[in-house]
Amino acid sequence: MKGFRITAFWQALIAAVLAYLIFDNAFPPVLPKTLMIQYMIITIIGILLYFAFDDKKWNEFKTPILATLRDDNKALLRWLFLIAIPLLMAYVVFAAVKPSLEAPVELRQVHPAPPATLKVYNKTFDLASLENPIRKEILDTLAKDEEAGWAKYQKSVSAGRDVYYQNCFYCHGDLLDGQGHYAHGFNPQPINFQDPTIIPQLQEAFLFWRITTGGPGLPVEGTPWNSAMPVWHEMLAENDVW
């Protein structure tokens, strides 16, 4: 359209809207509201300064605003603004203070500190010095007879696989990724064993404690834990846990 020109007021408005859309969508993750407000304040100040540096642009910018406030033929528009602006502010305040229907945020500690001792299988285990007896047995056998040691290792791995698929697979998944058949029925979902901060970072004694006592065995300090882990020492033999 020849001769079409966007006035200064609408230029400023379009620039502010574009800035908001850019801040809101172009920089994932989504900006916090407080940071968004700061960015928009800086943007609006910059826009106003841009037009204020030139008298002609500034007059063009403020003309529709002054006309809305003063002209008799814009009385209806003026009343609409006088009603809409307080209503908008009231809505913003209400939205900020209204109670949320969502569950409150819980600071959940994923790996709580274990107790010093553990009482299961009619024994008392010192978790600070507890070692995997199956691992120790395999290493001792390897030191004496390498072939027999590897055979014992393969047998233990096979037995562990059977225990996992008979008991753990349904929640922790075929790929050990916490995406088993029942996983989506729990909140939080079962642990993802592929996570490098889980198995490689935890001592076997810690895992023995967590498996044998399950969710009910978690310490009171720092609750809620929200763990659906069964108390496996009531269902599995000690060697099966290892």
Q: What are the boundaries of each domain within the chain? A: 8-97, 117-241
pLDDT in the model for residue 42 = 92
CB 106 within 8 A of CB 188: no
The closest alpha carbon to 186, from 204, 202, 173, 199, belongs to 173
Please give the model's pTM, rounded to 2 decimal places. Answer: 0.53
pLDDT for position 222: 55
Q: What is the pLDDT of residue 65?
A: 85
CA gap 61, 54 in Å, rounded: 10
Q: What element of type H or E holds 153? A: helix 146-163
Q: Residue 126: which H helix or E strand, with range?
A: strand 123-126
Q: In the beta sheet, which residues pair with residue 126?
A: 117
Distance CA 212, CA 124 (A): 13
Angle between helices 33-52 and 55-70 (to 10 degrees): 110
Q: Which residues of the chain have pLDDT under 70?
A: 1-4, 27-31, 102-110, 221-226
Go through the chain and tell me how many residues it has. Answer: 242
Measured distance CA(122)–CA(134) in Å, rounded: 19
Partners of residue 120 on adjacent β-strands: 123
What is d(CA 167, CA 27) in angstroms, rounded to the nearest whole number?
44
**CB neighbours (10 Å) of residue 178?**
19
The pLDDT, as a whole number, for residue 225 is: 63
The pLDDT value recorded for residue 107 is: 57
Contact 21, 14 (CB under 8 A): no
Give the pLDDT score at 28.
58
Q: Judge contact between 218 and 227, C-beta under 8 A.
A: yes
pLDDT value for 109: 62
Digit-coded pLDDT (tens) for 186-204: 777 888 888 887 777 888 8
Quickly list H helices, 5-98. Answer: 8-25, 33-52, 55-70, 75-97
Closest by Cα among 152, 119, 150 to 238 = 119
For 4, the token pair is 């079409």
Report helix, strand or coil for 117: strand
